[in-house]
Structure formats: C-alpha cells, structure tokens
Structure 1
Amino acid sequence: MATATDGTAPHVLVVPCPAQGHMLALLDLTGLLASRGLRLTVVTTPATAPQLAPLQAAHPAAVRVLTLPFPSHPALPAGVESAKHLPPALFPSLIVAFAGLHGPLVSWARARSRGPDRVVAVLSDFFCGWTQPLAAELGGPRIAFSPCAAYGTAVIQSLFRRMPRPEDVITFPDIPGEPAYPWRQISMLYRTFRDGDEVSEGLRTNFMWNLESSGFVLNTFRGLEERYLAAPLPDLGSRRARAVGPLAPEADDAGAAERGGEMAVSAADLCAWLDEFVKDDRGVVYISFGSMAVLRPPHAAALTAALESTGVAFVWAVAPATRLPDGFEERVAAGGRGRVIRGWAPQVPALRHRAVRWFVTHCGWNSVLEAAAAGVPMLAWPMTADQFANARLLVDDLRAAVPVTWGGLDAAPGPDEVARVLDAAVNGQMWAQVAARADELAAEAATGGAARRRLVAGGGGAGARPTRPREPGRTAAVH
C-alpha cells in the first residue's frame, strides 16, 4: 500500500491564492487529504509561508512547502505578497502577478517528473486559473477549489464567461432561478473590467481557464446549496461540483493564533462575559463585517445609533481602522450591555455561545458557514464582492437570514431602519421561523461535515448523521 511515509503515495501540487480567507480554507482541505494518505506540496511565498507551519507540524510526512519569490508587478507596491492590507482595487493585479509562478513551477515539477515525486494532479484556488495550463504541461488533471458558495462562484464565473454589458439589471439565465442583480451589486472585479487592459484581460483569462478544469470542489454543503449542486452548471464548466465543506475554522485561541490571527480578546474572556447574559436570559447580537473591513462612517453612525436607541445587548468586532462616533465606545464600556472588540475576535466560540442569538454580518462566506454550523440566524448587511449573492442565498433560498439593507457600500441605511430590524429580531416574534431554519442548518452542516470526510476518503454521500455535538436550547432561547 502506498503511503506518505515511504514516499510512494500520489503527489499533489496545491496552489492557494494569497488571500487569508481563500488560503486558510484550502489549507484545511489539504490537511484532510494528507490524513487520507496523499502527499502534497503547497506553494507559498516568503510572507505567507509561516501560515503553513501548523499544517506541516500536523502532517510532517505528507506535507511539504515550496517557497518561491513573489513575482513583481508594476501595479503592486514593492514587498506586497498577499491581499492583507492591500486596497481592493489592486486585488486583480495581485491575481495576475501571482500567475508569474507558472514558469518556476513548471521547472520545479519537470525536475521531479521521473521519480516518486512526480506531480499527478494540481489542486488550486479558482483565482489561480493559470494552473490549468500548468497541469496540462505536467500531464495531469487540475481541480479548481472555491472557498465560496457554489452559487456565488457560478455568479462570478458567469460574468466573465458571458461578459454582459453594464445595465440597470444583470441577469444570470444559466443559474437555477435565473437570478438578477442591479449593477451596483455586481462584484467590483467585474465592474472595473476594461477591454484591452492587461490586468483586466489577465483576470478574465484566469476565470476562463477554470472552465477547462477537471472539476470544482467548493467549501459548502448540500444543506445550504442542494439547488446549485444537484446538476452541472455551464458556469462551472458543466462538470459536477463537489461540496467539501464546511471546512474547519479555528475553535479556540490556540487555533486562531496558529492561523495567523492576533486575538484582541481571548475566547475564555469573551465567553465569561457572555455567560452573564445567559443567567439573566438575555440574548446578545454578535456583529462583524469581517476582520479586514473598514466600515464607512455613515454605516457606522447608523449602526451605533440603532444600538443605543434599542438598548440591545451586543458584541461588535470592529476592524482597528474603523472610526466610530465620538464617545460611543466609552458609553458602551460604562453601560455593561455591549462590548466593542477592536481587532481579531474569537468569532467561532462567540457564535457557539448560548447567549448569542443573532449575527449582524456582511455575509462573507466564511462567516456564513460559521453561523450556519452554530445555528445562529443572520441579519444580512452585504457590502461588496460575493456578499450580495451570499445574502440572497440566505434570505431568499434558505430563509435563514433577514436583510438589514441592500444598499451596500453606496448607500447607508438610516438609524431607524437598522433599529427596526434589531428590535424585531431581539424583542419580537415575527422571525421565529428564521431562527428555527438556522437551527436546522446546524444539523445539516454537521451532516455535510460527515459527508465531506467520506468524500475525501473515497466513500459515499447521503444519509450521514450529525457528528458535531450541539448546545441544546438555542432555538427556544431565540423565541
């Protein structure tokens, strides 16, 4: 039997996208594959290499790291190697620059083409479509990995496949339900496309290469997206998409630290604070717009005013650079019913705490999966990227979320609008069915995890029982 230990197991080249949410999910999948006997070499650059240390430590015989210099690009500041702290407008340049690793990887792989280290397949992020011709040169298949929803992935792929012209409403005829979005809710990756521009054309070529891959695997599960996983979609190359989620997030302080996060507060400290609300049978709203998102002042002002007028208990994880209205944080600290955390918060333990009953979220996919696994209903406040597609999936398809606003970055809601949603969620009964649906998703997420483990091991699919022990009484508490 071939094993990683004796060097005879199949050898797979893994190419993550140098963006935190993308990279961590693919590294989780890499760990699963390593535990099933594959040998894997993960491509990184000097700045992101430290994030692979936990994976290597867990699978020393199976996982190797190939560190290559990040290719330079005239549009990128010197020393930039990842999306961290990079202005969103430069993200397409990062994707195109990263494709410069094609030549070095071909040379590296060809030097190993006649021995046991021969690369038999390439597993890469869907922002690394350039690895499709790389896999073809190496004579093996390429699997495209998306850390996003199947629905959201199909939406962005559809845009670059069909290239619709700017209109008031953009339709997606090849996606089930034929969804339509106003132009302002379309991803900036597409809205900023310019014919003939080197970066724009390179970005589109990346997405088109994905359609030639041997298949897609996605960080989702069937309980969330049966409708979009049931049949091959033209926007995913008309090949069957495989759900391998929810991939495991960090569950404690040690896990977060290993994954590159510097915790602004410990999980133990935050959970002890939340325990006081369980004693008084008071529900808490957890609020986060992502670890890197800087909320614009009008949006922050609307939310802070709503929190103060409604008096709801809350935890708000705020990006360090976000400016909140003068005096708000001091009043929160003095009042005892709220907590502002600047920096990386222990989101997974918070969402799994009994006191947390609603989640105000930008609908980034990692946050969606974490809330779904915890059984927490969401108050959807999408801003950009794939967040509108994710929010529509949650609100319209799954009925596991209630929209706060659809205005995104362009239009902040009024404080009264936000206050009505918060008050109805925390103090009203009108959305009890949304909380019940969120509780059902938690059981389906656990089932998805069991199915994922069997899929990676080469086994079957349906009929698994939930494997994650869940805290009793969450739905009753919401009511």
Structure 2
Amino acid sequence: MPAEPADGGGSDLISFDGVPNCPVYPWWQLSPIYRSYKKGDPVSEFIRDVMLTNETSWGVVVNTFDELESVYLQHLEGKIGRGRVWAVGPIVPSGPTTDRGGSSKVVATELLSWLDKCQDNSVVYVCFGSQVVMSNLQMEVLALALEKSRVRFVWGVKEPTIENSGSEFGAVPPGFEDGVAGRGLVIRGWVPQVMVLNHRAVGSFLTHCGWNSVLEAIVAGVPMLAWPMGADQYTNAALLIEELRIAIKVCEGRDTVSNANEMAQAMADSLSENQSRKARVLELSRASLNAIQLGGNSSNSLDGFLKELAGLKSVNNSS
C-alpha cells in the first residue's frame, strides 16, 4: 500500500502498477478508507482484511459489460479465477420511469412536455446524484455558467439534508430562475433521470460520474461533462475521459469551485462540437443494449451465474 506523503502533499501522484493501464491519482482522490488506514490500528486492520477477502471470493457479479471494461474484467478473473466473474450489466431501470423515485416539485409529465418542445440535442442535463449537496458558492458559479452558456438546460438540485442543513448549502441564486425562464428548468428534489437522458432533446450530461449515472448515460447514448467528487467517481471519470473518450472534465473535487466561463464554454461546446465523442457513446449504447438482449454477453453471463448457483444448490442437497 502506498504510504501517505510525508509532507502531507495531497497532490502527490500515486500509481497502481498491477492494474491494467496503470492508473495514477493524486493522493487526495484515493478512497478515504484507503487514506485513513493506520497500520496496527484494530479498526483499520479489520477493514483491510475485509477488503482483501474480496479477492478470495467464490465469484464476483459486476454491473458492467464486456465492451465497456473487458480489460478490467480479465484482470479481475486473474484475481478471482477464470469463469468466476460475471458481467451482467448494464442494470438500469426499464419500462415507465415517470413515477419512480422520491418527491419533486415538477410533475414528470410537465418536464416531458417541456423537453418535447426543444430541438434534438439542444439541452444540457445537470445532476450530481442523490447524495451531493453543493455549497451556495458552487451553486452560484454553476448558475452563472448556465446563464453565460446560453444553452437550454434541466438542472436537478438536491436540497440540503440534516447533515448540511442551514443557509450555506443548496440555494439557487435569487432571480436566477426568472432570468432563464423558458430556456431552463430547475427541479428541486427527484428527477426522472432515465426519462430525461433518453429524450431526443438531451445532448449532454453534466454529472458527478457515479456509476449508475454513467451507465444510464451510456445506454441513452449521451456524452458527459465530468465533475467527479469522491468515492469511485475519479476512477469512473478517468475511464470515460482517457480511455473511452466519451466525456470531458470540467471540474473535480467535492469542495472545488469551478471557473464559470470555462464551464459555460464546455456546456456550449458539448452540444455543438466533437461529433466523434457522440459517435463513440452511441456505439457503446448499441453494445450495451445488445449485451442484455437474449443471447448477448451479459444475458449469457447471467444465465451462467444462475446455472452455477443451481449447481451449488444441487451439491448441498445431495450432501
């Protein structure tokens, strides 16, 4: 395990030579669990043992598909054992999506009606998942970027939780919604994300790069603007930007305040430039849908996993 930089330098680069493509990350982007490890500490050692036990698992089921991460699935097989890694994704919601999730101040049918009036690939969808609540300063800069970009947009805003309640989080700047009326929608609370991403009007997605959001965007064939903020999101963003080339980075870090002008330009460009990025994500979209069809790689992988489980049950019943 790489040691913490002696000078506390959070920007020191840490490499993982045993992983394909040798990923490199600044120290501060590593998992907090990883960074907080203290040799000899009982809690740290317990967590480390639990993590390492994953490599001795009988098998692993992964929400991904071969065309997306084949080199990493092969690497995982080398750790777990051949035939013991089942890629069964993408697992995303299917069927009606307008009545899923929690509360929202916008009726899904009204949102759909608004999108129907927009031109193809003319809307930037902005959402940072179910956990991130942005600071008011971040909200101000993002609102300014949306205003400067002149693009049409749907902005899903998570309101403050108990952990970050008060006046410093999640506030849409006063007057912003009036200033962008007709061009943008601000939705407080839950957004029917799958429905939005699959609408013909949505041309790009500003996202925190959580894995569920990543897969939903890929299935929908929507390129991404990446703002990873923690956990696995830096790894996901690196995959999207550097390897798959279906996203560009506009910011990174949970507490970082972006440059409004640069973000505005990225939003505008995401709808008007780089057709190759759109072509690549559409190719992955087709591959993802083929993977889960009957006879596809993920469908076959799921069947194989179920047969393995059935075989284990038969052995247990006979013993």
Say yes or no: TM over 0.5: yes
Q: Which residue of the partner structure matches residue 463 of structure 1?
A: none
Change (3 A) 1:293 1:386: same
Please say if residues 319 and 342 of structure 1, whose CA atoms lie closer than 8 Å, have aligned partners that are also in contact. Answer: yes
Unaligned runs of 5+ in 1: 1-162, 460-479
1:256 to 82, 91, 100: 100
Task: Give yes or no for the alignment of 1:273 onto 2:111.
Answer: no
Alpha-carbon distance in 2 for matches of 1:381, 1:215: 32
Q: Which residue of the partner structure matches residue 165 of structure 2?
A: none
Q: Which residue of the partner structure matches residue 449 of structure 1?
A: 292
Alpha-carbon distance in 1 for matches of 2:46, 2:107: 42
2:4 to 156, 160, 166: 166
1:197: how far off? 4.0
Change (3 A) 1:262 1:196: farther
2:124 to 285, 289, 293: 285
Alpha-carbon distance in 2 for matches of 1:262, 1:196: 46
Alpha-carbon distance in 2 for matches of 1:344, 1:251: 18
Q: Which residue of the partner structure matches residue 283 of structure 2?
A: 440
Task: Give yes or no for the alignment of 1:220 onto 2:59.
Answer: no
Please say if residues 126 and 155 of structure 2, whose CA atoms lie closer than 8 Å, have aligned partners that are also in contact. Answer: yes
Q: Which residue of the partner structure matches residue 204 of structure 2?
A: 358
Look up the SS of the partner of 1:173 in the other structure.
coil
Give the alignment of 1:166-245 within 5 angstroms. 166-167=4-5, 168-232=12-76, 236-237=79-80, 240-245=84-89
Alpha-carbon distance in 1 for matches of 2:38, 2:175: 44
Give the alignment of 1:40-119 within 5 angstroms. none
Alpha-carbon distance in 1 for matches of 2:227, 2:277: 16
Alpha-carbon distance in 2 for matches of 1:251, 1:345: 16
Q: Deviations over 1:152-197 (max 9, x none)?
A: xxxxxxxxxxx22124111111111111111111122222333444
Alpha-carbon distance in 2 for matches of 1:339, 1:187: 34
1:199: how far off? 3.6
Task: Give yes or no for the alignment of 1:328 onto 2:176.
Answer: yes
Equivalent AA in structure 2 for residue 379 of structure 1:
L
Change (3 A) 1:458 1:195: closer
Look up the SS of the partner of 1:175 in the other structure.
coil
Percent of paired sites with the same residue: 44
Look up the SS of the partner of 1:214 in the other structure.
coil
2:257 to 412, 427, 431: 412
Runs of 4 or more consecutive aligned structure 1 residues displaced over 6 Å after TM superposition: none
Alpha-carbon distance in 1 for matches of 2:46, 2:247: 36
1:212: how far off? 1.2
Look up the SS of the partner of 1:395 in the other structure.
helix
1:268: how far off? 2.3
Look up the SS of the partner of 1:208 in the other structure.
helix
Q: Which residue of the partner structure matches residue 13 of structure 1?
A: none
Q: Deviations over 1:209-262 (max 9, x none)?
A: 11111121100011211221234466x5455532110113254346624xxx33
Q: Which residue of the partner structure matches residue 8 of structure 2?
A: none
1:363: how far off? 0.3
Please say if residues 287 and 316 of structure 1, whose CA atoms lie closer than 8 Å, have aligned partners that are also in contact. Answer: yes
Equivalent AA in structure 1 for residue 265 of structure 2:
R
1:266: how far off? 3.8
Equivalent AA in structure 2 for residue 324 of structure 1:
V
By relative contact order (CA 8 Å, sep 6+), the higher-ranking structure is 2
Alpha-carbon distance in 1 for matches of 2:66, 2:174: 45
Alpha-carbon distance in 2 for matches of 1:445, 1:191: 34
Q: Which residue of the partner structure matches residue 310 of structure 2?
A: none
Please give the TM-score of this superposition, normalised by the length of structure 1: 0.56
Alpha-carbon distance in 2 for matches of 1:181, 1:238: 28
Alpha-carbon distance in 1 for matches of 2:93, 2:106: 17
Alpha-carbon distance in 1 for matches of 2:22, 2:216: 27
What is the aligned-residue RMSD (CA, Å)? 2.1
1:270: how far off? 1.4
Please say if residues 19 and 75 of structure 2, whose CA atoms lie closer than 8 Å, have aligned partners that are also in contact. Answer: no
1:444: how far off? 0.8
Please say if residues 400 and 434 of structure 1, whose CA atoms lie closer than 8 Å, have aligned partners that are also in contact. Answer: yes
1:422: how far off? 1.1
Give the alignment of 1:24-39 within 5 angstroms. none
1:361: how far off? 0.4
- Equivalent residues, number: 286
Unaligned runs of 5+ in 2: 6-11, 161-169, 306-319
Please say if residues 256 and 262 of structure 1, whose CA atoms lie closer than 8 Å, have aligned partners that are also in contact. Answer: no
1:310: how far off? 1.5
Please say if residues 157 and 186 of structure 2, whose CA atoms lie closer than 8 Å, have aligned partners that are also in contact. Answer: yes
Deviates more, 1:389-398 or 1:408-417: 408-417
Please say if residues 376 and 435 of structure 1, whose CA atoms lie closer than 8 Å, have aligned partners that are also in contact. Answer: yes
